[in-house]
Amino acid sequence: MYRLLATCTALLLVACGRSEGPDGSADTTQDTQMPESASESATTQPTSAVVQIEPTQGNTVSGMLTIVAEDDGVRLTGTLQGLKPDGEFGFHIHEKGDCSAPDASSAGGHFNPLNVAHGHPESDTHHVGDMMNLKSDADGVAQVDARAFGATLNTGEPTDVLGRAVVVHESADDYTSQPAGNSGARIGCGVITLKADGAAG
């Protein structure tokens, strides 16, 4: 009698410790962890865009730049030619994607969604569109590798630079004068557009 009771108790403990599915089969889902989805585990690739810089009236600067998103902003790389030799030039992202005016005034002011003062792009206070000056060589060519800290690309956020303009100025930005660094006339302008699949650069 005692042996029978012990056997029944053991069977009940085993049954209670096991959950069953609707059809009476053992349900093992509690012991199995679902893997992360492919979208969660895959590394997000940076969004790419391009900007074709064209000269404003009376100027000659031109070139294609590639823009990629990074953790702390966006990076612009490429080559510009047609600049004054051995010169230094203000280089900014402007608020409006419109280069139609002969002097590119249609591009508006510096891109400044946070409504702060103009400043050195590596300082605590600066426009999202503030970038380091470009420098040309003896042939009037500038190798561009510039960063806009705090900017985003194709995010829909207020800091998104997609569809805005990149402007080259005739003089160096002093990073101090308000509201634009006293960098003079706009000598080149282009609108940031998404990079087509398979495009070079």
Catalytic residue among 92, 126, 160, 173: 92
Nearest to residue 186, comparing CAs of 109, 128, 131, 80?
A: 109
Catalytic residue among 126, 164, 169, 173: 169
Instruction: Compute φ and ψ for 166, nearest 5 degrees.
Output: -110, 130
Catalytic annotation on 92?
yes
Catalytic residue among 75, 126, 164, 186: 186
Catalytic residue among 127, 160, 164, 173: 127
Catalytic annotation on 127?
yes
Helix-strand-coil split of the chain, %, nearest 5: 10, 30, 55
Nearest to residue 128, comparing CAs of 145, 109, 144, 141?
A: 109
Catalytic annotation on 126?
no
Residue whose entry in the numeric block shows the structure tokens 């600049």: 83
- The enclosing H or E element of 9 equals helix 2-16
Catalytic residue among 75, 126, 130, 160: 130
Any residues with CB less than 8 A from the CB of 138 and at least 6 apart, and which? Answer: 85, 86
Catalytic annotation on 75?
no
Cβ atoms within 10 Å, residue 55 = 16
Any residues with CB less than 8 A from the CB of 155 and at least 6 apart, and which? Answer: none
Q: Which residues are the active-site residues?
A: 92, 94, 110, 118, 127, 130, 169, 186
